Amino acid sequence: SAVISQKPSRDICQRGTSLTIQCQVDSQVTMMFWYRQQPGQSLTLIATANQGSEATYESGFVIDKFPISRPNLTFSTLTVSNMSPEDSSIYLCSAGSGSGWDTQYFGPGTRLTVL
């Protein structure tokens, strides 16, 4: 299984600012994903981070709000732009070596609070 780290582990940000979350995997992986988990809720997929091309966003999520980079097979970033209190959530990175419908392993998450 892949070992995944995320930075920062938590942050408190002001409304209108942006935060970039980093995700690092200890081995090359085919697939990397970004999820959001709001308090008491399940995981909602934001986007699939594609290496060398634009991310694939799920319904309700747009690139201007959540720009994603994936420069290589072990690293990805998610930026939460122009934040509002509604963006307060846990953001999780996951990775897998198979297809998108195969096993995924999760990073420890980033707990974001927007004031």
Partner 1 sequence: QKEVEQNSGPLSVPEGAIASLNCTYSDRGSQSFFWYRQYSGKSPELIMSIYSNGDKEDGRFTAQLNKASQYVSLLIRDSQPSDSATYLCAVGVYGGSQGNLIFGKGTKLSVKP
Binding residues vs partner 1 (CB under 8 A): 1, 31, 33, 41-43, 45, 48, 56, 92, 99-109
Q: State which residue, 41 or 84, has the beta carbon closest to partner 1.
A: 41
Q: How far is the CB of 82 from partner 1 (least distance, A)?
A: 26
Q: How far is the CB of 103 from partner 1 (least distance, A)?
A: 6
Q: State which residue, 19 or 35, has the beta carbon closest to partner 1.
A: 35
Q: How far is the CB of 76 from partner 1 (least distance, A)?
A: 15
Q: How far is CA 17 from CA 32, 60, 80, 108, in A?
A: 25, 21, 9, 23
C-alpha atoms less than 13 angstroms from C-alpha of 33 in its C-beta half-sphere = 21
Question: What torsion, rounded to 10 degrees, do the Cα atoms 35, 38, 41, 42 define?
Answer: 0
Read off the tokens for 36.
């959001």
Q: How far is CA 67 from CA 7, 34, 48, in A?
A: 16, 11, 11
Q: State which residue, 58 or 82, has the beta carbon closest to partner 1.
A: 58
Q: State which residue, 14 or 40, has the beta carbon closest to partner 1.
A: 40
Q: Fill in the DSSP letter of residue 94.
A: E
Q: How far is the CB of 59 from partner 1 (least distance, A)?
A: 9
